[in-house]
Amino acid sequence: MMKLPALASALLLLSPAIAAQDVVAERTAQSGLPLDPVRASMEVPRLALGFTVDPASRSLAGTADYTVTVDTPQDRLAFDLDPRFAISGISVDGQALAPAAWSNPAGLLTITLPRALAAGSRAQIRIAWHGAPHVAKRAPWDGGFTWARTPDGQPWVASAIQGEGCDMFWPCLDHPTKRIGLLDLSVTVPDGLVAAGNGVLIGEDHAGGWATWHWRARQPNNYGVTLQIGPYRLAEAQYRSAYGNTIPVQYWHLPGDRPEDVQYLLAGMQDYLAFFEDVVGPYPWGDEKVGLAETPHLGMEHQTINAYGNGYKRAPEGYDWLAQHEFGHEWFANQMTNATEGEMWLHEGLDTYMQPLYLLWKNGRMAYDVALWDHRKRVLSRVPLAAGDPAATGDYLDAESGWGNDIYYKGSWVTHTLRLLIGDTAFRESLRRLVYGRPDPAPGNFAPVRRTTADFATIVSEVTGRPMDWFFDAYVRQAALPRLLEERQGSRLRLRWETASALPFTMPVEVQVGDRVLVAPMADGTGMLDLGSADARHVIDPEAKILRDDPAITAWQAQERAAEAHAKD
């Protein structure tokens, strides 16, 4: 997802500290809560998911035909589902269950099985439900449905549920560790509307004033499953990949859009594709498509059908920042998925860094530096990027903690510092191993992976041949940024790193003296340099390679907060 604008930082959802009476809101408003033993045992090799969406009543009816396997014996199954929906019926292996066999009082739909499942066995579960989904107050940051109208008055519908999860409109396993092996998605809408979906379009049927659009997708990320509906027109191109395959690039847009805008966006998508394939590796869904659908909200990284609502705004750097950012999530969210919600910096931080890196690739060093400096001014570092507890989740919209801010901008700067520390060759290999699970990805030889910060640290250590725990502990597990303390005695400059980590912070430091650049290795977190003379002027880290505490930025941020508060009075 894109970062929320600064003015939206005092927002909308609930904190993790939620009163008992709000347990329903907690379950449906926060994705990735710890799994109970029943859901932890379940896997979904296949799902046929069908929706009938009625814009007139702002409601939907759905059926989910699940193939479920369990790895431990179970006499119950469970799914997450917003309890605002009514259950029409449930069957197990074709046997209809009595209503007493299921309950969904707090958003955890629990089904008592007619016979227990042995470990390693499977069952066919059919769930039918209907109702009016939660309406997003400010999509995509407050998740739910957007029921809008196109400029000429036609229905325009979009779902966006990253933080809240798939249970906002269908029964699912709402956790990043649970993916569907193969999804068959059918969406029925009033005739004249198009339902743009995940994966490959299998076909469409029209009868009785309704149209059904059939899609098939492999291994979708749960929050990436989406409904995007409108009177769309399709624009497309074919991209010839450096990996030898040809990838469809498809964009479902409103009929009144200017053709030159549509073509500009299509051309940009192909340029972004060339960048990501060059720097990271092959597009993960090349056997399906690169897809976008125009939406009434700003955007979201739905797998192979990214939501786009930036209105074709062109940045002075000559690209569409929103389209580039959301597309990057095909690698950093949909192919490589964080193992817990608390590790979301692996999605957002790595992907946010791909913006300045793309500008370096496209426009050169100045564009990179300008974009990165903008990111640096937004780093808050009030809480860790990722907590030590692997089950912990962050509060994305808590303005005081700033976690939902730092996963983007601090994550970007951590990645910048890492790249310049280990070099481009090691950085690119580390990214490939992180994203694909192997150093030699090619179309067809990899599958989606789940990752943690510890995985990333291990990969970088293996690639570089040196321990990297000190780096990730100081930058990701601790809240405060490393501080570099200086002491000048004549021509001698003593340096010492100070961090909250128990591990020595061994980040080497460059110091410019005239036209010379000296390097303090900082092997134990301290270093000393002879600058040549007592009056020599020096500049620490002249190329701004290192993310570190900067009192000037801290003072500026306080000044900006005070000015904003004064303006509100």
In a domain, 559, yes or no: no
Whether 425 and 433 have beta carbons less than 8 Å apart is answered as no
Bridge-based pairing state of the strands 336-338 and 449-451: parallel
Q: pLDDT tens for residues 197-211?
A: 999 999 999 999 999
What is the CB neighbour count within 10 angstroms for residue 155?
A: 20
Do 329 and 278 fall within a single domain?
yes
* 494 class by beta-carbon count within 10 Å (0-12 exposed, 13-18 middle, 19+ buried): middle
Percentage of the chain surpassing pLDDT 70? 95
Range of the domain at 518: 483-546
CATH number at residue 118: 2.60.40.1730
Q: Write the DSSP assignment of 189-254 as a string of letters.
A: EETT-EEE-SSEEEEEEEETTEEEEEEEEES--GGG---EEES-EEEEEEEE-TTS-EEEEEEEE-
Question: Are 512 and 491 contained in the same domain?
Answer: yes
**So what's the pLDDT on residue 399?**
86
Phi/psi of residue 406, nearest 5 degrees? -70, -30
Same domain, 416 and 527: no
- Report how far residue 340's alpha carbon sits from residue 495's, in angstroms, rounded to the nearest whole number: 37
Low pLDDT (below 70) residues in the chain: 2-27, 390-393
Q: Is 223 domain-assigned?
A: yes
Which positions make up the binding site for Zn(2+)? Answer: 325, 329, 348
Specify the pLDDT at position 11.
27
129, 241: one domain: no
User: β-strand 210-218 against 200-207: which pairing, if any?
Assistant: antiparallel
Of 15, 128, 20, 11, nearest in space to 81 by CA: 128
Task: Based on the fold, state whether residues 330 and 349 are members of the same structural domain.
Answer: no
Q: Quick one: 149 and 294 in the same domain?
A: no
Q: Are strands 483-489 and 492-498 parallel, antiparallel or unpaired?
A: antiparallel
Report pLDDT for 471. 98
pLDDT computed for residue 341 by the predictor: 87
DSSP 330: I
The model carries a pTM of 0.94
- One domain for residues 148 and 26: yes
Residue pair 75/101 in contact by the 8 Å Cβ criterion: no
Annotated binding site: 325, 329, 348
153, 93: one domain: yes
| 139-181: pLDDT as tens digits | 998 889 999 999 999 999 999 999 899 999 999 999 999 999 9
Positive or negative torsion for Cα 204, 205, 210, 216 = negative
- How far apart CA 461 and CA 456 sit, in angstroms, is 9
Collapsing DSSP to helix, strand or coil, 179 comes out as coil
Return contacts of 205-211, CB within 8 angstroms, 24+ apart.
Answer: 210/52
Same domain? For 258 and 373 the reply is no
Is 564 contained in some domain?
A: no
